Structure 1
């Protein structure tokens, strides 16, 4: 059994292919050689038709015979070259493939052309964004694409997103925090070592509402974490490392509860959508999540707090054309109106560069005596 691998080529518009080759949506160089030999009747004539050297065509045919383990050409001195039965069957398979898969291949080719057009467009930009799961970001991706800004978004935990930024795997990271957060909060412990004033810059994005996602109508009347603990409602966690899991630790502390007070399921969920689905299926009763996801799934929702969703980049990336394009877009009225229409969301300092130490006030800046002496 031989495996099949697909690839593609990129050609400049000025590069001209033969009509026969251009009509083949999925091309393989061996099939070009076999077709030329079958039509021309000799290796030398096939080489001239393909604008290749005799030595190259002969060498490639012999190489493919070794690769496939079958002879392709009947090599008889003084006779016209012709395909072996195996060579004929390969050409038959090629024709069948072209006939059967033409619509799918054409759709794939067109999609590839549209995608690669971005790389050749000097006015288009691409930004890689790792972010905590959020319902507004996919809408931002669609909105931005219409204006030539393409967001490559990968959802992960807030902590993992910032680590990816620091390791150079993305240009922007998205994370969220309760405001204000004390110096002893779980939020401070989670992010303090990852974010540094002077190295990182925060770009305002939005506020959103977090709360308890519950069954439609909230049959257990769950309005607080105290209610969840008291009723022993089945609670589903978000994954460790997510911003919502960090937030839960802070909310439990504020309610004078701990994780053991919750009747938690053994498995956690990687996203707000997955958490909502677990509740909708009846597998659990309640979980901490965002309002927009609850409303979209037709579930009940008990709000607990407003939080800030931030975008953060390295200082060196702040004024690059791609990041500047995003900042400008976030300040557009049409985008802000679209964001405000999403349940629980509100545009907040969207696109503005904000003070990291003001938003996350757990750093202290005390000049050392040596620094003060040098400054004076």
Structure 2
């Protein structure tokens, strides 16, 4: 079976055709002009080019495209005529979809040719407020410097690693308020974030808890209840911030992962966890309040956490990062975030001291008044 591969062309003058293919164009020219030479003149190509191209297509497609009778003009073969017919039929049937795709591509590439537009790549732990932020930024089409957010949702750990490897400009991750130095949260993120190299931008406070069936029929109020009742749990993957949070909470409650039925089953997002509970394939899972409310589910709040945006210090003053910080600090965005269940704007767009939000970093003041930090690799500045 022959397969179709789509291509597109970027040009100042690409013509009006929604989709083009040189083979049907050549076949149409031969049918109209009755010769290879006539088709070549009509297309502005050389005889040799058209002849060679048709022969290559005959070999690739496994059929004769052009036939000649003695003393007669060149004609399309039955196979060539069917190919031309099929192309016309496909374009006629798919014209609306092709036009929509064409318009979407042109809009997308218009950003690349707009010297004032900014594109910011963000790898982030799954967060519905970021989805709303992307739409909010895109809606500011009349802005002097439009901002387009290219968001890839992944685990918190993978997001920061992507930042450190240069695959994104910002990384979204979340922690509890004032995480303790010996916690799993600290042990997970401390090796990935370094004072002097990274900067933390405030974003939101959000509520994490147990997503349960409507009315909470099992009466779950804590992780201890989940363990005691044997409720079917659905987890988040390794490397996700919620998995790190869960393991910290289990340790604080003196619970082993073996006490949680379904600990090894995971879903890729808060939305997917909520869907598993809504579908009845799980009784409970850890997630954000908004995911539960959006599906009419019950929600048991367990704690408030902070959602942070991390960047390298070198990118803090880049125009795209500045444009995002400006947008985050607007009253319009604060008002929109406040409508999201379980969310509160918190130091939105502000650059925060790392020791303030990640307090496992301790900074001592030297006798001469200079600041000293316990940055990794500094023998004199041990924690």
User: After TM superposition, is the score higher than 0.5?
Assistant: yes
Kept in 1, the 8 Å contact 2:355–2:363? The answer is no
Give the match for residue 160 of structure 1: 158
> Could you tell me which of 5, 28, 33 is aligned with 1:35?
28
State the 1:252 CA deviation: 1.7
DSSP-derived class of the 2:359 partner: coil
CA distance in 2, matches of 1:351, 1:98: 48
Give the length in aligned residue pairs: 364
Deviates more, 1:266-275 or 1:344-353: 266-275
Is 1:288 paired with 2:286? yes
Is 1:143 paired with 2:136? yes
Deviates more, 1:59-68 or 1:156-165: 59-68
CA distance in 1, matches of 2:60, 2:102: 28
Kept in 1, the 8 Å contact 2:230–2:261? The answer is yes
CA gap 1:100/1:205 in 2 versus in 1, 3 angstroms: same
> Could you tell me which of 262, 265, 268 is aligned with 1:264?
262
Kept in 1, the 8 Å contact 2:354–2:361? The answer is no
CA distance in 2, matches of 1:291, 1:64: 58
Is 1:9 paired with 2:2? no
Q: TM-score, normalised by structure 2?
A: 0.89
Give the match for residue 351 of structure 2: 353
State the 1:326 CA deviation: 0.7
Is 1:125 paired with 2:98? no
CA distance in 1, matches of 2:231, 2:300: 14
CA gap 1:284/1:67 in 2 versus in 1, 3 angstroms: closer
Give the match for residue 44 of structure 1: 37
CA distance in 1, matches of 2:70, 2:353: 82
Q: TM-score, normalised by structure 1?
A: 0.91
CA distance in 1, matches of 2:241, 2:306: 11
**What do the CA deviations read for 1:281-317 (whole angstroms, capped 9, x no partner)?**
2222222211111111111111111100011111222
Give the match for residue 229 of structure 2: 231
CA distance in 1, matches of 2:173, 2:165: 16
CA gap 1:234/1:72 in 2 versus in 1, 3 angstroms: closer
Give the match for residue 56 of structure 1: 49
DSSP-derived class of the 1:176 partner: strand
Kept in 1, the 8 Å contact 2:58–2:65? The answer is yes
CA distance in 1, matches of 2:232, 2:37: 77
Gapped regions of structure 2 (runs ≥ 5):
141-145, 365-371
CA distance in 2, matches of 1:330, 1:186: 30
Gapped regions of structure 1 (runs ≥ 5):
none
DSSP-derived class of the 2:262 partner: strand
CA gap 1:372/1:303 in 2 versus in 1, 3 angstroms: closer
Give the match for residue 369 of structure 2: none
CA distance in 2, matches of 1:196, 1:230: 40
CA distance in 1, matches of 2:19, 2:77: 23
State the 1:71 CA deviation: 2.1
CA distance in 1, matches of 2:304, 2:333: 20
State the 1:265 CA deviation: 5.2
CA gap 1:7/1:16 in 2 versus in 1, 3 angstroms: closer
CA distance in 1, matches of 2:272, 2:97: 31
State the 1:121 CA deviation: 1.5
Supply the RMSD in Å over aligned alpha carbons: 2.1
> Could you tell me which of 82, 85, 88 is aligned with 1:92?
85
State the 1:77 CA deviation: 6.6
